[in-house]
Structure 1
Amino acid sequence: MTGAAFDTAAALDRLHAEIQLAHDQGFAVLRVLLDLRWVNSSTAMLDAWREYETRVNGLFAAGDLIGCCVYDERNFTRRDWRLLHSAHTTTLRPDTDSAASRLRVRWNGEPPALRLHGETDLGNRAALHQLLAVTARACGPLTIDATGLQFVDVAALRELLGLAAARTAPTTILCRPLLARHLRLLGAAGIATLSVAVALPANSAPPA
């Protein structure tokens, strides 16, 4: 991130090539650990790096890439840390080992389906936006399994509705009853290609 300008597209292409190389060598998953404790709010091209961190989420959903970025929160202004934090699906606090935000995603290509598990809020909003933007390009009917979400803020609900509205093919959102109610209150019925279906997580039994 010093010297020549950071090229987000080229960096994503390189990472995609490394994933393919890992597959060619017989590995199912590429694991990447980045020590980024030297990055701070005064680092040149921080905006370009943050864009890369956001867009790389499109590669994680397939399940063949696992990444861990190690930052030092003390190196950033509050605004810069919030924006960088938002580009990651999950952020862990080193002092307590607890999650400031936690979202897991999994993409299945045939038939197209995206599974969401955990929490969606301000802490991972940029990551979720990128994941849904990539998902919206899927051809044919799409299923979003949101039954594993324990918390969803209004912005994330609007992102889900926006994905469905942007597609011409049918979209089905599987979710718990309360989430289904909130989606309908926000106008789900006005999206002709969207179906909201109440369901429980696959590993959950109906309440007694």
Structure 2
Amino acid sequence: MEGQHARDADPARPAADVRTLPVQRFRPGQHGFASYGSEHPQWDVVHAFVRQGLAYGEKVLVLLHPRVSVGELLSLLDGHGPPVSDAWQRGQVVLSSMRALIAPHRRFTAARQWARLREESARARAEGWTALRAYIDMAWVEDLGADVESVMRRERSSQHLFDSGTYSEICAYDDRAFTDELLAEMHRAHPVNLLGSVGSLHAVRETGADGPQLRLTGEADIATRAELTRALRTALAGTAPGHGEPGSPASGRELRLDLRALHFLGAACAADVLRACAAAPGDATVRCTGVQERILRHLGAGSLRSLTLVVEEGTAC
């Protein structure tokens, strides 16, 4: 599998893969991995995570280092969009820390943490919120002097917290504080991995049941258009007659694109997708959502006889 991604290319970061989503597509009941650092501050992701929770009617628990104050958090969040002070005042957004969550205990155990998160989830629903979502900065590991191995075991065996669909969690790792090996292991252990920054685009070539396809994740807009066109050119090159493994058809292989994990698809980028489909030597199939289908048809998708649009609602815009 070959991957390329725009504005998310720090070699120290675990590579994005087919489980990767933009934070705006994070859903109730999911357990996600995120990493941040000097090149990718966490606040745009935190802000989008909080905003999404408010829109869903969820209670949002933000667990940061104890040194982060309420005023500092609200200032950082408000700096990325409309104020969240009202949500704070009505108790829909709560700042805490792992130290406070497990108090009066001082030692971390997975069972202790799980019990407290279940209590907070039940409390959120009792208060009238649809679910609880938590953003957990893993700086607490150092703050509490927790054993890294026990934390890793917790991450691998937490699925029971999410089975009801009323609790979701992002575990955010500072890539300056954890080893590359641990980051890679945690990347593998989480069912969902988040793009490192809001507004980025990730393109990955994968092999599915129907053959190779190009999967796009994130935002396809003017800022990421150059990366999109490069990815489309590469995908087109793979459809050339006789390209690839022995037995490739002389007429060219089918071009398959998956747009469902895009949070945003701009008109110019949608037009680029259609141009790539028109240039394909064989048929083209684009998996998309209803919104994306309307954009593509408005731009003339119906005039391409070789193009099939497969509409599947899911994780995309």
Q: TM-score, normalised by structure 2?
A: 0.34
**1:184 corresponding residue in structure 2:** 297
**2:224 corresponding residue in structure 1:** 124
CA distance in 1, matches of 2:11, 2:228: 17
Kept in 1, the 8 Å contact 2:258–2:287? The answer is yes
Unaligned runs of 5+ in 2: 13-38, 46-196, 240-252
Aligned with 2:205 (options 83, 107, 110): 107
Unaligned runs of 5+ in 1: 1-27, 29-58, 71-91
Counting only pairs closer than 5 Å after superposition, residues 21-40 of structure 1 correspond to structure 2 as: none
The structure with the largest alpha-carbon Rg is: 2
CA distance in 2, matches of 1:179, 1:129: 18
Instruction: Report Cα offsets for 1:53-95 as digits up to 9, x if no partner.
Output: xxxxxx6349xxx94179xxxxxxxxxxxxxxxxxxxxx6648
CA distance in 1, matches of 2:277, 2:41: 37
Instruction: Report Cα offsets for 1:80-115 as digits up to 9, x if no partner.
Output: xxxxxxxxxxxx664845435222222125612111
Letter in 2 for 1:107: R
CA distance in 1, matches of 2:307, 2:220: 21
CA distance in 2, matches of 1:196, 1:164: 11
CA distance in 2, matches of 1:138, 1:192: 21
Letter in 2 for 1:122: I
Shift in Å, 1:123:
1.7
* Aligned-residue CA RMSD (Å): 2.9
Kept in 2, the 8 Å contact 1:93–1:100? The answer is no
Alignment of 1:170 with 2:112, yes or no, is no
**1:13 corresponding residue in structure 2:** none
**2:3 corresponding residue in structure 1:** 60
Kept in 1, the 8 Å contact 2:218–2:262? The answer is yes
Counting only pairs closer than 5 Å after superposition, residues 14-163 of structure 1 correspond to structure 2 as: 60-61=3-4, 67-68=9-10, 94=41, 96=43, 98=45, 99-109=197-207, 111-139=211-239, 140-163=253-276
Q: Secondary structure at the match of 1:144?
A: strand
Count of matched residue pairs: 122
Shift in Å, 1:168:
1.9
Letter in 2 for 1:146: L
Kept in 2, the 8 Å contact 1:100–1:123? The answer is no
Letter in 2 for 1:108: E
Kept in 2, the 8 Å contact 1:180–1:196? The answer is yes
Shift in Å, 1:142:
2.3
Letter in 2 for 1:189: G
Kept in 1, the 8 Å contact 2:255–2:277? The answer is no
CA distance in 2, matches of 1:178, 1:123: 21
Shift in Å, 1:190:
1.1
Letter in 2 for 1:68: D
CA distance in 1, matches of 2:205, 2:293: 21
**1:197 corresponding residue in structure 2:** 310
Quick one: percent identity of the two aligned structures? 26
Q: Secondary structure at the match of 1:192?
A: coil
Kept in 1, the 8 Å contact 2:254–2:280? The answer is no
Shift in Å, 1:195:
0.9
Q: Secondary structure at the match of 2:231?
A: helix
Q: TM-score, normalised by structure 1?
A: 0.51
